[in-house]
Structure 1
Amino acid sequence: MGNLRIPLFLFFFHIFSLLFALSSARFSPPDNHLIACGSASSSTLDDRRVFVPDSAAIVCSSGSKISVSAPPDASPASSPLFRTARVFTRPSSYEFQIKQKGTHIIRLHFYPFSSRDFNLSSALFHVSASGFVLLTDFGTSFPQLKEYLVRVDAEKLLISFAPARRSSFAFVNAIEVISAPEDLIGDTARLVNPDRIEKFDGLSRQAMETLYRLNIGGPKVTPFNDTLWRTWVPDAGFKNSDSVSKTVAFSGRIVYREGGASREVAPDNVYNTARVMDGAKVSDSNSNMTWFFAVSSGYKYLIRMHFCDIASRALNELYFNVYVNGYLAYEDFDLSSAIYFLASPYYVDFVAGVDSSEQLLSVSIVPSKHSSHLRINGLLNGLEIMKMNNTLGSLDGGSPIILVLESPARRGFGEFLRSVVCGLAFMSLLVIGFMLLLRWRAETKNTGTWLPLPTDVSGGKLADGNPVVSGKLVYS
């Protein structure tokens, strides 16, 4: 018999090498602030993350630091973070030291229990961070997790809370501030207009709120199985009923390659399942897979579509069209030409607006003219919808909210003096402007009739755009 010790040694060496590679590949963010608000001790979650008390991070401008706890007889919460909360009766803020500038993930946990002194479900308040308004007149009677992506270019990040009314208050149960991987948010996307596709620049400078994160064709993915501690829900509640799609699963190895998506963009559990269009069941050009999402009008949205061809037998067999809001966003998309490998992840970012007459955003996969009845005609593995800030820097409401969250004593006498000087200068300008207005009105009474300005302005030119794409998709 041969010597079995060497093969056995190699086997265990391979196993330990694999485990070491997996552990070393796990994302380790430079900034990783995990705060259990109102708690006197640390809390450990099922995903092994440890949240520490908030006593060192909180900065109050006025008022006391109020900590509340759920009563002992209350129904047990699903998370230890929901047993305590921090309540603010005055504008207040948390301050976080930032080691690495760039995009950060901010998660706010709200669990409105009722304590002896406060019923958290009656709170009404505003929240802002890094110059962006995150929430206005916010209140909730059920548990909520709010997730945001905000670029931070300073050495400190302030997350501010302010009661919306004098008689109201603000609260929060837990806060996460995590450095996002550099490849999580790129700077460009495909802007989908009704008549053309344009390039959208400056995406990484936008503040965004995560609204929907779907594992298409697969089960729920929990934070334990995601390197960025995200939750992905099944798509069944968002997809229109159809008979042309089916779900597929992949038991092989997902191959992450340069130029494609990383494991931080989406985990294996998203890319190893998909919903596909069965070419044999496609009857006409109106066949499609479509997902609908309730959104607010007046904003632009980032639509991120995750692809990983786990269903084709060979390269260059899968072609399909992508529609956003019924408008053609990508024609004859060939995943093979984008990533050059099967079972290798890739994503595409689209930006689209929703006008005042609509409250729904739709995403569709439609067969291409290159599709074949002998192969699948479309595929999607994951889908994310994120609201982008409006022109006023707000993610919730049309008007900006200015929260004065630091007292003159904290800002320092120099800054206070500059504020006084600027105020006096502004008042002086108002007085001068008023005197000039009075003088102008007096002079116009003694002048002749003014001739109107010409209204025929010529020489203007419309900006050249991309070729016009086809009209809206008609759903069958």
Structure 2
Amino acid sequence: METLLSRLGFFLFLLSTFTFYHLSLSFSPIDNYLINCGASLDSVVDNRRFISDSSDSPDSHLSSARTFSLCAGTLLPGQPQIYHTARVFKTPSKYVFNVKDPGMHMVRLHFHQFKSSRLNLGNSQFHVLVNDLVVLTNFSGGNLAGTPKVMEYLLWVNSEKLEIAFVPTKKSNFAFVNAIEVISAPKDLVPETAQYVNGDEVEKFEGLDKQAFEVAYRVTVGGVKVTPFNDSLWRTWMPDDAYLKSSEGSIKVYFGGRIKYQDGGASREVGPDNVYDSARLIQSKNASIPNVNLTWEFPVMEDYKYLVRMHFCDIASISLGLLFFNVYVNGHLVYKDLDLSAVTNYVLASPFYADFVVDADRSRVVSVSVGPSSKSMAYTVDAVLNGVEIMKMNNSVGSLDGKLPAELLLMCWPRRAVSILLPLIALVCLLLSFSAVMHRRKNQAGTVPWLKLPMDVHEISPKHAKLQLSNIVT
């Protein structure tokens, strides 16, 4: 019995040590705002506390008065508590956050459509701006299909404030949000440069870390869904099956060992263990090398640039220096004979990522591919891919959704239009009144004025009158 207790104590010691070690490695952002919108109480999701934005809370960050909270009319089974309430805005309203750590920030907006006796969030339509960057245009709660939607953005912040504004459209006259996250990002999350794929040419793209991004896709290749609980930046990674053009020739592989992160390479914040410990690969099983590429296709919006991040980790080779393969973006060769051993300082199971910027053309598809190269060897792994991220980049007018800048969207708000129209109506009325007065005076100037008859007229006798009349006639 004593031996059993000692073993149990030793096991608990190891468990606590591992937990402490794991927590010590977790990312701790300087700016970390989690807001439970429309709720009177805080809510915990994935061990993270979302703070109520009620007026009684000192941490509400809500700077607008004409808002109200809304609660779901019925319980929503399986949904976190943050999706049971919402903050509703009848006029342009905003949240304001103090920025202590200038630089790249992650902003997540949580939306979930529900009905209550007071309002149906499915009837909403609105715009959203973050520091004058348009992130959503004519967003409608009716398009949420009954499931929560998280819109995630990465943007450079060099001011002391970060403002998130919600602007109702004329069609619905109200906007809403269920929860908000504003988190300062790790310094190595977005580098300064990337490779710009311009046709068959690959050029250097500078200033990447000063751009704004909307996360379109975040995919773990060959693995299962990764939830925020298992990601140090609280991201969600979806399985790749829906985007894989053909699984012919691909093999899924899982790794039970430790992912070896290195200084200067991909960090755990760039990609978590649960992404790098699974992959799809091409492997030759005989003396011939498979003549096949693995391709993933992602629908995108035309006329935007996209950041394509590909994650690699050699978790399948039995030795160093055996894996060589080609990498393609939109069908263009961007890496020839990629040697993962060389780029990871000759360490197996060490992650590596590559960034590419592409233009979305009329096909409205961004594709990535991996396949054997001229240096691939028989009886070895001939290509591997662990994860893919696709992010939309802001256009020239400072928008991630549409061609209208923030100034025009604000001018289109109906009540603002009314406030401009009323003074114009008053001015027109004043001009009409002035014109009427001037017209009246002009008419009076063109007629003989009426004179009062004299009261002291002398009497004329009939005789004199007859004489005067005869004189006039003659």
Deviation at 1:195, TM superposition (A): 2.7
Partner of 1:344: 350
Query: Residue 306 of structure 1 corresponds to which residue in structure 2?
Result: 311
Letter in 2 for 1:378: A
Please list the CA deviations of residues 150-171 of structure 1 after superposition, one character each: whole Å capped at 9, or x if unmatched.
1111111000110121642111
Deviation string 1:340-370 (CA, Å, 9 cap, x unpaired) is 2101111111111112x21111110021110
Instruction: Report the Cα offset of residue 15 of structure 1.
Output: 5.2
Give 1:115 shift: 1.7
Q: Structure 1 CA distance, aligned partners of 2:222 and 2:271?
A: 15
Counterpart-to-counterpart distance in 1, 2:89 and 2:286: 58
Question: How far does residue 65 in structure 1 lie from its aligned partner after superposition?
Answer: 1.8
Compute the displacement of 1:314 (Å). 1.2
Q: How many angstroms does 1:243 deviate by?
A: 2.2
| TM-score of the superposed pair, with normalisation by structure 1 | 0.79
Q: Which has the higher contact order (CA 8 A, sep 6+)?
A: 1
Structure 1 residue 260 displacement after superposition: 1.3
The 3 A distance-change label for structure 1 pair 373 and 52 is same
Deviations 1:353-405 (A, max 9, x none): 112x2111111002111012321110011111100101111100012132659
- Gaps in structure 1 of 5+ consecutive residues: 406-476
RMSD: 2.3
CA contact (8 A) 1:94 1:159 kept: yes
The offset of 1:138, in angstroms, is 0.7
> Contact 1:130 / 1:150 at 8 angstroms: preserved in 2?
no
Identity rate of aligned residues, in percent?
50
Determine which of 198, 205, 208 is the counterpart of 2:203. 198
User: In the comparison of the two structures, how many residue pairs are matched?
Assistant: 398
Equivalent AA in structure 2 for residue 146 of structure 1: M
Residue 215 in 1 paired to residue 220 in 2?
yes
Taking a change above 3 Å as real, the CA distance of residues 11 and 146 of structure 1, as seen in their structure-2 partners, is: closer
Match of 1:380 in 2: 385
SS in 2 for 1:386: strand
Does residue 1:38 correspond to 2:44, yes or no? no
TM-superposed deviation, 1:332: 1.1
**How big is the shift at 1:19?**
3.0
Q: Within 5 Å, which residues of 2 pair with 1:303-382?
A: 303-339=308-344, 340-355=346-361, 357-382=362-387
* 8 Å CA contact 1:105, 1:176 repeated in 2: yes
Q: Aligned pair in 2 of structure 1 residues 335, 161: CA closer, same or farther (>3 Å)?
A: same
Contact 1:244 1:281 in 2 (8 A): no
Q: CA deviation at 1:280?
A: 3.1
Contact 1:77 / 1:83 at 8 angstroms: preserved in 2? no
User: Which of 175, 179, 189 lines up with 1:174 in the alignment?
Assistant: 179
CA distance in structure 1 between the partners assigned to 2:47 and 2:181 by the alignment: 14
Give me the whole-angstrom Cα distance separating, in 2, the residues matched to 1:292 and 1:281. 29
1:395–1:244 CA distance, 2 compared to 1 (3 A): same
- Matches of 1:246 and 1:70 in 2, distance apart? 45
Higher Rg: 2
For the 8 Å contact 1:190–1:198, the answer to whether it is kept is yes
Residues 144-183 of structure 1: pairs in structure 2 closer than 5 A: 144-165=149-170, 167-183=172-188
Please tell me the residue identity of whatever aligns with 1:59.
S
1:60-79 → structure 2 map (5 Å cutoff): 60=64, 64-71=66-73, 73-76=74-77, 78-79=79-80
Inter-partner Cα distance in structure 1 for 2:141 and 2:70: 17
Shift of 1:252: 0.8
Q: 1:350 to 1:90 in 2, by over 3 A?
A: same
Q: Residue 287 of structure 1 corresponds to which residue in structure 2?
A: 292
